[in-house]
Amino acid sequence: YQATTLGQCLSEALQEMIDHDECSLEVAKKILDYFDESICTKFAEMAKKKKDKTTVKASLHSYNNVENVWNFILEDPKFENLKTGHTLPEIKYLKIIAMDSKEVFKNLEK
């Protein structure tokens, strides 16, 4: 999740702190690892609680699979919550990174 906008902002803030000797590299790495673990855990909790379904309609721009990690680039995605009918603002591209959840949780347990 470090590749998300939020993750990149966190990385930039930590780099500034390292540059100003306000944080060590080891602490910054631990913070980024904790960020990834926390986001993954929160998404798993949300998935168990939420029963709403959302549809995504888009054109597939490109895809790639490396070591069981899928990368999809969707062009002009349209999201709609089937329960509420709410839609998200339009965006040009959406990148989805997906992998087998069993692998993710196996790594978290270590």
pLDDT tens for each residue of the chain, 110 residues long:
677 888 889 999 999 999 999 999 999 999 998 988 888 888 777 777 667 778 889 999 999 998 888 999 999 998 888 778 788 788 899 999 888 777 666 655 55
The reported pTM is 0.47
Rg of the chain (C-alpha set): 17
d(CA 35, CA 61): 29
Residue 22 CB coordination number (10 Å): 10
> In the prediction, which pLDDT does 27 show?
93
How close are the terminal C-alpha atoms of the chain, in Å?
18
> In the prediction, which pLDDT does 21 show?
94
Are 78 and 87 contacting, i.e. CB atoms less than 8 angstroms apart?
A: yes
d(CA 69, CA 20): 36
Query: What angle do the packed helices 25-49 and 5-19 form, to 10 degrees?
Result: 160
> In the prediction, which pLDDT does 91 show?
87
